[in-house]
Structure 1
């Protein structure tokens, strides 16, 4: 019987030192993968290195081309190739009315959440082709299928990830490379707490009322966990997921609207 395993697979997880990225690393390590991570936060990366001594870790900003080039040189040196790219890095971007968003904040959100995936994919694809195939998993969001008031840069970037994913799936399928997007919803943790707090301030509501409004838009009426997102990544890169490509897979409890 085919198992949910990733034995021997060489995997790069961007923004892998905390949050969803760290949960992905833990799930793939438990499944037998060899991992390299990057993160832009030096303090978080230092903590990660202490907990995962055998995992390669590079400080890199995925929106910086030189950083990405250096990252992939280190991946090549440490892993000797690549079988899986998990494009997890992303930022929330500003929470504001469109006329209040600065062009700099807009650009930074697009550069990290969308351009960063392109910069990593363009370096990963030759390595995946050399390996005879592999998988790319791009992190989008429920905001990649639903309009999101006061979060226009984030939603625009995450919609872009869907188009990028579907296009790459068509381009890379003949090379035995699957490409899929995962669309998390409201994921437990400090990041969503910051998002809810910012949205509450924008609308003049309490944190508790804003959280209640968020959850009543989710069919399951609960947040999902980083581990649930990580399990979907593991499925897609395992032998069980080799027939899945070009898909946008929600791990969100069915967010109905934002």
Structure 2
């Protein structure tokens, strides 16, 4: 009888296990949520792809922070062209994107933002004889100044925004830092707006391709604005990202630890 009883209960167990939904089993096995953070793939030295790998000052910060969260989340950093990443956030498809500046009004679909990853100075680099200083006093009959920016970047200050409306400047969105520097060096652009360090490094990286290229041929015309960079999160709190608030809290704390360790 005992043997029959064991056989009976073994049969019951196997039957219940076989009927248990596969997705429910997966939830028990894979208890750590998978979190994907989209990352600008062409913004050196902060985030960029080289030889198929993602590098950068901000990337390393977040990677170190992600290690601290390894018991709670499976975190993936996915390189993506900036404009496409912004579009994924706007559509609600993506959970997080780095490293945007804070634009509550212009990007209402991103909220909240992480603690600061770092501060950047957006600078206007112009060809000799061109200036954006006192741009609103420029005579309207003159040809507009052609300014390049990286596609999807929101980096105009109030003065330049007004100048754009008045037709005193014309904004050209180009793929990335490299393409903008090339056009600036060939006088297809008059000025280029971007983070100072990113631009300087971009020029250095292009010297092997353009032997005559040198930073001295451009002038740092003006500091347009100073902003902090962050991880930006989707504003949606729906069922798709139920871990949102917990993840943000844990990631912020981990980033603070990483930054404190870096300053020791």
TM-score higher than 0.5: no
Q: Which has the higher contact order (CA 8 A, sep 6+)?
A: 2
Give TM-score, length-normalised by structure 1: 0.30
Greater gyration radius: 2
More helix by share: 1
Give TM-score, length-normalised by structure 2: 0.30
